[in-house]
């Protein structure tokens, strides 16, 4: 039976370290500040934003909420971002996605100063990640890498199969694994013989958004399985992209859903905000 990689416990440990780092920064007169911008009333976004704000407060980060109406124009949002870029109390800017239709998301993300881009979505920071330069690493893939490090897994020479090629998870996590000297395969909706590709993997990273589509018998004996997927099934149940019980019977280590990658994402956002404050 696989070791369960406890994302909550790893996240709690990092948050304790961040709380201590924030105390140190405050002693030097620096209060790390995160601006959280929410446009509209999307219920899931509201939940994420309140979770991020609570997490900030818990570790001592100052969080400035900007809740804007669903009718906000692109120009108004860009003006707010310009203000936050210039505000010395703010070290990180997070614009909760998705944005309403009248606003061009790319334009907004590119308006955030790369120095305050704690989500790591600005093309400048994406480019730096690509060429292996220090940068803000996007939070979910960064969380995945921290989990692999925490279990002492050395990626060098290992075969990693990433299922999903989104800009926020699949592509950046593949790049991070490549930088750790893994041999990386990225799969997507047009990949042929997905089961066979997954069967070849020492590490499977699933970021698809289809409940339990990666079957337990696709997992090589002893492989490590990182399930990024979060899928609501029925009223209350959350499942990942991997058939958990069957995969756990073959894997050497596996992340659960919930309680795996999820808690790491917000933690790495806090981490990036504290790093940004330290750089100043
Ligand atoms: P996207 O929808 O942006 O990307 C999904 C990817 O999966 C695409 O590349 C798509 O391929 C691929 N895909 C879809 N169907 C198949 C299939 N049948 N076979 C192979 N590949 C397929 O999703 P995200 O990357 O944003 O998120 C992925 C999952 O991770 C979701 O469940 C999301 O909720 C979760 N998530 C969890 C986070 C956390 O904190 N735990 C944070 C972010 C996301 P193609 O490109 O060809 O369309």
What confidence tens digit (pLDDT) does each residue in 46-65 have? 999 999 999 999 999 999 99
Atom of ligand 1 at shortest distance to CA of 169?
25
Strands (E), 6-151: 33-39, 62-68, 92-95
Ligand 1, closest atom to CA 190? 47
Pocket mutation for ligand 1, best pick of 94, 209, 257, 266 (most atoms within 8 Å of C-beta): 209
Residue 82 has pLDDT above 90, yes or no: yes
For residue 237, list its beta bridge partners: 233
Nearest residue to 143 via CA among 2, 270, 3, 279: 270
Q: What is the pLDDT of residues 152-184, one digit of tens each?
A: 999 999 999 999 999 999 999 999 999 999 999
Tokens encoding 72: 């906000």
Tell whether the torsion through CA atoms of 226, 181, 271 and 18 is positive or negative. Answer: positive
Distance CA 117, CA 136 (A): 7
**Cα gap 157→15, rounded to integer Å:** 31
The pLDDT of residue 1 is: 86
Active-site residue, from 6, 116, 117, 119: 119
CB 227 within 8 A of CB 221: no
Domain with CATH 3.40.50.720 in the chain: 139-262
Q: Would residue 119 show up in a list of annotated catalytic residues for this protein?
A: yes
Distance CA 240, CA 166 (A): 17
Q: Quote the DSSP letter at residue 210.
A: S
- For residue 29 the two structure tokens come to 């007169």
Q: Give Cα separations from 15 to 30, 146, 175, 265, 272 (angstroms).
A: 18, 13, 26, 12, 12
Can you give the pLDDT at residue 235? 87
> In this structure, which CATH number among 1.10.3720.10, 3.40.50.10860, 3.40.1640.10, 1.10.10.10 belongs to the domain 30-113?
3.40.50.10860
CATH class held by domain 139-262 = alpha beta
The model's pTM is: 0.97
| Short-list 247, 188, 194, CA closest to 219 | 247
Domain with CATH 3.40.50.10860 in the chain: 30-113
Residue 211: pLDDT band (50, 70, 90) is very high
Q: In angstroms, rounded to a whole number, what is the distance separating the alpha carbons of residues 145 and 157?
A: 16
Ligand 1 site, residue 262, Cβ cutoff 6 A: yes
């Amino acid at each position: 039976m696989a070791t369960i990689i406890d994302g909550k416990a790893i996240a709690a440990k990092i948050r304790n370290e961040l709380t201590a780092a924030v105390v140190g920064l405050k002693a030097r007169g620096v209060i790390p500040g995160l601006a959280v911008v929410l446009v509209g009333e999307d219920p899931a976004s509201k939940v994420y934003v309140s979770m991020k704000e609570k997490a900030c407060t818990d570790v001592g980060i100052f969080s400035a909420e900007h809740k804007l109406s669903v009718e906000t124009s692109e120009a108004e949002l860009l003006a707010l971002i310009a203000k936050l870029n210039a505000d010395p109390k703010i070290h990180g800017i997070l614009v909760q996605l998705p944005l309403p239709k009248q606003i061009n998301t790319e334009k907004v993300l590119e308006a955030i100063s790369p120095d305050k881009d704690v989500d790591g979505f600005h093309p400048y920071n994406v480019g730096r990640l690509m060429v292996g330069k220090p940068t803000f690493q996007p939070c979910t893939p960064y969380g995945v890498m921290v989990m692999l490090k925490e279990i002492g897994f050395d990626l060098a020479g290992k075969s990693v199969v990433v299922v999903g090629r989104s800009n926020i998870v699949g592509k950046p996590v593949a790049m991070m694994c490549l930088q750790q000297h893994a041999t990386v395969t990225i799969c997507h909706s047009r990949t042929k013989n997905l089961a066979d590709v997954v069967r070849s993997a020492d590490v499977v990273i699933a970021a698809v958004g289809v409940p339990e589509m990666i079957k337990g018998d696709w997992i090589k004996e002893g492989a490590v399985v990182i399930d990024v997927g979060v899928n609501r099934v029925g009223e209350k149940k959350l499942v990942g992209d991997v058939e958990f019980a069957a995969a756990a019977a073959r894997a050497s280590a596996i992340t659960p859903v919930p309680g795996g990658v999820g808690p790491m994402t917000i933690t790495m956002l806090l981490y990036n905000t504290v790093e940004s404050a330290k750089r100043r």
